[in-house]
Amino acid sequence: MSKISNTLKISRSGLKLFLECPRCFWLDLHHKIKRPPGYPYTLSAAVDYLVKREFDKYRAKGILPPIFKDAGIKNAKLYNSPDLAEWRNNFKGISYFDEDLNAILYGAIDDVLEFSDARPNSLSGRDSLAVIDYKSSGSKEITIYDDYQKQMDIYTHILNRKGFETQSDAYFVFYKVDKTGDGFKNVLPFSEELKIVKVNPGWVSDAFERAIETARQSVPPISPAVGGHCDHCHYVGRVIEIQRLAPEDINI
């Protein structure tokens, strides 16, 4: 089997898969053996669509949405540049090409805040940016999962590699289903909540390099997920074992 030597394009979710299980990551790239997909979050996708339309109205007027104003955020506006449409596109996204690795890291972003703080000694001469992500939830309490944090870290890393100055914070805008009523009466009420997190993109470059190194191996990693067990790897291994057996040896 030959190694993958052409330009590799790894998505944010692909890097997430590598961190969870390098073997699954390798099987996906080399043999298209994918983990079973989860249920489609069509309601979440609908909320994202509606929020983008609402925020785009504020963007066109140059007005900061109230959720940010109420949090005391100043000297900022929604990023308004033609490249935002591509950054939001699931099939294109925001990306950068690493010449040393001959690889691309990309992901679709929800939105961006632009702060009026360009510094005279800035290498880019640009205002700084901060990532915004929309989330919808039916939970009573909001939880910032590790995957959410990594998502913001990766997007901030990509912005940095593209030459943008970035803020040390990123912003989650949560839309929680309000369950206090006695029925939704054809209207599902949501409450809006802003969560601010510190970004830590320092780990991304090393993880991406290790992912590319693994992707170009001609054989899969011996070790599966952290902790030594991966249900998907185990399933794939059992299927291969069964395929090697004669029909009369298979006892189902």
DSSP letter string, 171-186? EEEEEEE---SS--TT
pLDDT in tens, 4-52: 558 999 999 999 999 999 999 999 999 898 888 777 778 888 899 999 9
> Which among 33-37, 114-118, 128-132 has the top mean pLDDT?
128-132
Contacts made by residues 213-219, CB under 8 angstroms, sequence distance 24+:
214/18, 214/22, 214/25, 214/26, 215/4, 215/8, 215/10, 215/25, 215/26, 215/29, 216/3, 216/4, 216/5, 216/8, 217/3, 217/26, 218/1, 218/2, 218/3, 219/1
- In the chain, where the domains are located: 8-249
Pairing mode, strands 94-98 and 103-107: antiparallel
Q: Give, as one character, the DSSP assignment of residue 220.
A: -
- pLDDT score of 107: 96
C-alpha distances out from residue 245 to 27, 31, 250, Å: 22, 21, 7
Beta-bridge mates of residue 137? 176
Q: What percent of the chain has pLDDT over 70?
A: 88
The dotted CATH code for 8-249 is: 3.90.320
Angle at 90 between CA 44 and CA 108, to 5 degrees: 80
- Residue 230 reports pLDDT greater than 50: yes
SS3 34: coil
Rounded CA-CA distance 221/128 in Å is 40
- pLDDT score of 243: 74
C-alpha distances out from residue 251 to 234, 237, 240, 248, Å: 18, 17, 15, 8
The pTM of the full predicted model, rounded to 2 decimals, is 0.87
How many CB atoms within 10 Å of residue 243? 8
The structure tokens listed for 203 are: 């780990």
Specify the amino acid at residue 26: W
Torsion angle of the four alpha carbons 230, 231, 236, 239, in this order, in degrees rounded to the nearest 10: 140
Between helix 12-20 and helix 22-31 the angle, nearest 10°, is 130
Burial of residue 131 (number of CB atoms within 10 Å: 0-12, 13-18, 19+) = buried
SS3 237: helix
How far is C-alpha 211 from the chain's CA centre?
16
- pLDDT score of 240: 76
> Which among 2-6, 70-74, 151-155 has the top mean pLDDT?
151-155
Weakest-pLDDT range from 107-121, 184-198, 201-215: 107-121
Confidence tier at 120 by pLDDT (50, 70, 90): very low
242 or 81: which leads in pLDDT: 81
